[in-house]
Amino acid sequence: MNKFDIAVIGAGPGGYSLALILAKAGNKVVIFEESFFGGNCVNRGCIPTKTLMKSARIANTLARSKDFGIDSENYYDLQTMFKNVANNSAKLQNAIKGGLTTSNVTIIEASATVIDENTIEANGSQYSFDKLVIASGSRPNFFKIEGAEATNVYTSDDLLTKNPKFDELTIIGGGAISLEFAYFYASFGKKVTIIEAAPQLFANLDESISRAAKAVIAEKGITLYEATKVLRYEDGALILENHDGHIYHKTNNILLAVGRRANNEAFASLNLKFNEKNFIEVNEFFQTSIDHIYAIGDVTGKLMLSTVAYKHGDIVAKHIITGSSDEKFNARFIPWTIYATPEIASVGSSEQQLQAQGIDYEVAEIAASSLPRAHAENAFKLGFIKLIFNKKTFEILGATIFLDEASLLINQIALAIKSKLTILDLQKSAYTHPTLSESIYYITRQIVFSNLDK
């Protein structure tokens, strides 16, 4: 039998990065991957969608080219865009696989089945391990719509891998995946509709997220139904229900963007504890109910982001190498972005959360129209930056940035929140002019000088 110190199931962001760290620390590591190296991020999520969003951003710039004194033809080739998706994914797959090989990680490209607490079977061979890290990821939720059996019903995976042709698309679900696909297809003239069952988009997040998302939706001409149920599909239309009654929404193409579920099949034999949504329960070091078996990333249900999987992997690697970890996972410190134009990024606590905790806070907000660089780039009509801070200490508690480059700017706020920096700390720093990053200076300066003792 093949004997290893560490076995890792899944070569997504958390799995492969953890394997590299542990191998470089002197452990004998084996990693199992039945599909594509890089996981959902490289092949079905982050990288493919960002590749498409780059095309969408260029298209939107070209659509406004006359504003900059340039005349351009309105031509696009979706086939080339999706070829770029495949090419970029393949490059990263090869880079990840090459890095693992160079680091002497044993690679098994096969489906893995855990047969007991110290043994995995794959391709008819058995592999024993001292410690196991489950990083098996997730897949899109799918449910049947009554009457839609003969209709085109897609998941996000389907759109990215099959590139179906259509002129209209109805998206059920109003999360980040929904908004990015809606933005992409609307950028190329497709008629897009979003149907959200909750009272409003991103109802469990800060109100500013919903406000920003709706601004993007309105600007792109996307139709939005909130607080709306899907009843069935009938005679070429979805039958919807909301406060206005029944709605007959004609569509032949439906994207289900209603969350994701854990890939749990490989370790069904283990007596692990799961929560009510069938995600693995873990402790602060990401140990499962079996101490030498860890779980990281999507399979734990703790924010399904590559950023999160990387941080989980860091904590587990430290725990395996040293027996402890000097960092703990806290979702409040995790920044995230919706890659529309402008980008929508957020980190920290929402107003709703702070109200529930009884924390006395204040809010400051400035519009993109206050930023010289936004005017220089004719990008001042949409956008804002919002900061939430402790009313007494001025410690930064949360932020939403709705600007171009928000995905970059939010990282400074994330560091500030984690480091317990104050509004004054950021105001004292200097920022290059003219840039969008100085939006942080403008808003913190506004707060500081409006609160100076006279």
For 289, the token pair is 């109910």
Whole-angstrom CA distances from 78 to 89, 153, 163, 190, 332 are 17, 20, 8, 12, 38
d(CA 123, CA 113): 10
> Is 428 marked as binding a ligand?
no
Q: Which of 96, 80, 79, 106 is nearest to 42 (CA)?
A: 96
For residue 37, count CB atoms less than 10 angstroms from its CB and return exposed for 0-12, middle for 13-18, buried for 19 or more.
buried
173 annotated as belonging to a binding site for a ligand: yes
Q: Is 241 annotated as contributing to ligand binding?
A: no
Residue 417 annotated as part of some ligand binding site: no
The answer to whether residues 409 and 374 touch, using CB atoms and an 8 Å cutoff, is no
User: Which residues fall within 8 angstroms of residue 61, CB to CB, at 6 or more apart?
Assistant: none
Q: Which uninterrupted H or E stretch holds 154?
A: strand 152-154
Per the listing, tokens 């909130």 go with 226
CB 326 within 8 A of CB 335: no
14 labelled binding-site residue: no
According to the annotation, is 180 in a ligand binding site?
Answer: yes
Closest CA to 177 of 84, 358, 40, 21: 40
Question: Is 433 a known active-site residue?
Answer: yes
Annotated binding-site residue? 348: no
Short-list 212, 249, 215, 218, CA closest to 234:
249
CA distance 261 to 340: 25
Per the residue annotation, which of 246, 319, 375, 433 is the catalytic one?
433
174 marked as binding residue: yes
323 is in an annotated binding site: no
Structure tokens at 412: 């400074």
| 196 annotated ligand-binding residue | yes
DSSP line for 18-86: HHHHHHHTT--EEEE-SS-TTHHHHHHSHHHHHHHHHHHHHHHHHHTGGGGT--------HHHHHHHHH
Respond yes or no on whether the N-terminal peptide bond of residue 342 is cis (omega within 30° of 0). yes
The two most distant CA atoms of the chain are separated, in Å, by: 78
- Assess contact for 14 and 302: CB atoms under 8 A: no
Annotated binding site for FAD: 50, 298
Annotated binding site: 50, 173-180, 196, 259, 298
Annotated binding site for NAD(+): 173-180, 196, 259
Residues annotated catalytic, as ranges? 433
